[in-house]
Structure 1
Amino acid sequence: MAEISLALAASHTPGLTGWFDKAPDEDRRIVRRAYDAIHQAVLDSRTDVLLVIGNDHVANARVNDYADFTFGLAERHTGPDEWFKPWLRVADYALPGAPDVAATLHDQVRDSGRTVRAVRENLRFDDNLSVPSAMADLPGTGVAVVPVLQNCTVPPVPDERACYAFGQALGTAIRTALPDGLRVGLLGSGGLSHEPGGPRYLEIDEEFDRWWLDLLVAGDHERVLAEATFERMEEAGSGGTAELLSWVVVMGAIGPRPCTSLGYSAVDQWRCGVGAVQWDLS
């Protein structure tokens, strides 16, 4: 059977690439160390395929026909999408896809109770894939990528328990339906606290962010699901903080276990709390 070789999560705010130099030196060092650690973890884990689970900013479907989860089946994933280039300010990239893996996982989880789709053409990527690609130099790892974009904004949003259950189904599919010996990594891309375009656009809820990271480090997933609800995420920043549901998918796939915080920074100019974690899979 295949093996989950790696489990990570990190913020993907466009401020990290578009306005990185506006932050103090120490904050930039914290974030650089975190993303360098992600890059090295991908290499050290000998991961063959990396699933990047991140929110879709209503770029790949109409609001009235919006899937809960969308698997990208392209042979190559290229970005950033032209519309997002001016504010992301990252170099064009091309990541090798794994269409057979993506198709198998899609087929295994499409009856999970959520609306699940597969798209064969290149998806429109904004910061969901572009920021981790640039900050963690994913092209430099040579790893194949399967993007899994999820709905974190269009009601009804799959809540924390729905996302955890989807992650459980995804983890089972990885372990039972993929080729023996394949090493599959997971990266949740999104969060932390921010409210894009809202009245708290320039505010970061540092108290929430640190509370969330402490919960994850402790490894009690039932407590996370009971306390870090979708509603609580919305209180910390409407329309943005719930991107953390991508982290919850990863948690569901690996089951209850502690993690290590790779760092945290709250920089107003980045418009988002920035943090990263790596789960202990030993």
Structure 2
Amino acid sequence: MPAALVAMSHSPLIGFVDVPEELKTELDGVFDTARSFVKDFDPTLIINFAPDHYNGFFYDTMPPFCVGLRGFGLGDYDTAVGDLDVPTEKAESLVSFVQDQDIDMTMSRYMGLDHGAVQPMEILFGGIDTVPTIPVFVNGVAGPFVPMRRIRAMGQAIGRWAADQDERVLLIASGGLSHDPPVPQWATASEDVRKFLLDGRNPTPEARQARQERVINAAKDFVEGKATIRDLNPEWDQNFMKMCAEHDIAGLDALTVDEMVRDAGNSSHEVRTWVSAFSAFGAIGDYKVDYQYYREIKHYIAGFGVMTATQQA
């Protein structure tokens, strides 16, 4: 079973904030490289590991990870709306297999997917229904969080399932790296915000626009040095990417929740998608990283990384 991997940061601010032309050209080239990689690989099945940002998952029920047996784009930040092409029987098979591996995988019969899952598919494939895709939600914003070793074990179980499929499987990891956007935290949220965190589904257009404007304005303040959010941490980011490239995923078990927040920001937990995907990829077989890119991009409030990897013969 051939397999490949693309791990990439995302940002809802792409297209919503002005960036220097040099940076735009640079990122266009990075995305073109990733697109060429997946075009050459020509996947027949995608497993998309992605977080959510209180658009599809809320505190009324917040699993550490979840497989979508069907899925649809929620349309935040002008991302695609509509159904993914989810092979439901295969997704059910994945859930059963992973549960048999002593991983308490949850499932959704109709998973709402925000920009975290949708943006990479739009960048890589131009849409969300072009290749059969199994979405895997990995909680990256809503504490408390399970230890990183459980994320690694979940990814390994998915990789063992994927290894038995007669498919060309592309693993996508979307999220991270260091960043601390103005996502509300339960511990410090007001009662009104807590109501939203419990169940903020189906916001009015006005409420969604106001929320997006807060993030856009935070990015502008961040660039100008006026924001109160944590700074980006390129050293942390590049060390994390190095550990992924060098197959040291088990070493990431040492990452603790408090240390990650302190060193890389509240939303650094989105790297759990990378841990999931690289763990799955390692369970399929030995791999090598073919391409990697990193840049700290304050305009996007993100340590921005992209990696592609293939299996070793």
TM-score (norm 2): 0.75
Alignment match of 1:164 (pick from 144, 147, 152): 152
Question: In structure 1, how many angstroms separate the alpha carbons of the residues matched to 2:236 and 2:109?
Answer: 38
Residue pair 1:202, 1:268 contacting (<8 A) in 2 also: no
1:5 counterpart residue number: 3
Residue pair 2:46, 2:134 contacting (<8 A) in 1 also: yes
Question: In structure 1, how many angstroms separate the alpha carbons of the residues matched to 2:87 and 2:57?
Answer: 22
Q: What is the identity, as a one-letter code, of the residue corresponding to 1:9?
A: A
1:41 counterpart residue number: 37
Question: In structure 2, how many angstroms separate the alpha carbons of the residues matched to 1:41 and 1:230?
Answer: 33
Alignment match of 1:97 (pick from 72, 81, 86): 86
Task: Write the mapping of 1:50-69 to structure 2, written as runs, cut at 5 A.
Answer: 50-69=46-65
Identical aligned residues as a percent: 22
Question: In structure 2, how many angstroms separate the alpha carbons of the residues matched to 1:42 and 1:222?
Answer: 27
The total of aligned residue pairs comes to 266
2:118 counterpart residue number: 130
After TM superposition, give the deviation of residue 90 of structure 1 in Å: 3.5
1:203 counterpart residue number: 231
Query: Which deviations, in whole Å up to 9, do the C-alpha atoms of 1:206-239 show, x marking residues without a partner?
Result: 222222223333333333444x554443223332
Partner SS, residue 28 of structure 1 = helix
Q: What is the identity, as a one-letter code, of the residue corresponding to 1:117?
A: T
Query: Which deviations, in whole Å up to 9, do the C-alpha atoms of 1:112-154 show, x marking residues without a partner?
Result: 4444222222x22222122112222343893211110012233
Residue pair 1:27, 1:265 contacting (<8 A) in 2 also: no
Structure 2 vs 1, CA of residues 222 and 150 (structure 1 numbering), >3 Å: closer, same or farther?
Answer: closer
Structure 2 vs 1, CA of residues 202 and 221 (structure 1 numbering), >3 Å: closer, same or farther?
Answer: closer
Greater shift in the superposed pair: 56-65 or 244-253: 56-65
Query: Which deviations, in whole Å up to 9, do the C-alpha atoms of 1:13-38 show, x marking residues without a partner?
Result: 1122433xx22223223322222222
Partner SS, residue 65 of structure 1 = coil
After TM superposition, give the deviation of residue 51 of structure 1 in Å: 0.7
TM-score (norm 1): 0.83
Residue pair 1:160, 1:225 contacting (<8 A) in 2 also: yes
After TM superposition, give the deviation of residue 60 of structure 1 in Å: 3.2
Question: In structure 1, how many angstroms separate the alpha carbons of the residues matched to 2:275 and 2:136?
Answer: 13
Question: In structure 2, how many angstroms separate the alpha carbons of the residues matched to 1:234 and 1:125?
Answer: 24
After TM superposition, give the deviation of residue 167 of structure 1 in Å: 0.8
Does 2:174 align with 1:189? yes
Structure 2 vs 1, CA of residues 7 and 200 (structure 1 numbering), >3 Å: closer, same or farther?
Answer: farther
After TM superposition, give the deviation of residue 188 of structure 1 in Å: 0.7
Partner SS, residue 273 of structure 2 = helix
Q: What is the identity, as a one-letter code, of the residue corresponding to 1:270?
A: Y
Structure 2 vs 1, CA of residues 114 and 63 (structure 1 numbering), >3 Å: closer, same or farther?
Answer: farther
Structure 2 vs 1, CA of residues 94 and 17 (structure 1 numbering), >3 Å: closer, same or farther?
Answer: farther
Query: Which deviations, in whole Å up to 9, do the C-alpha atoms of 1:38-71 show, x marking residues without a partner?
Result: 2222221121111110112233344153212111
Structure 2 vs 1, CA of residues 70 and 17 (structure 1 numbering), >3 Å: closer, same or farther?
Answer: farther
Q: What is the identity, as a one-letter code, of the residue corresponding to 1:173?
A: W
Does 2:258 align with 1:262? no
For structure 1, which runs of at least 5 residues remain unmatched after alignment?
Answer: none
Does 2:265 align with 1:238? yes
Partner SS, residue 229 of structure 2 = coil
CA RMSD of aligned residues (A): 2.5
Partner SS, residue 181 of structure 2 = coil
Question: In structure 1, how many angstroms separate the alpha carbons of the residues matched to 2:228 and 2:102?
Answer: 34
Question: In structure 1, how many angstroms separate the alpha carbons of the residues matched to 2:101 and 2:126?
Answer: 30
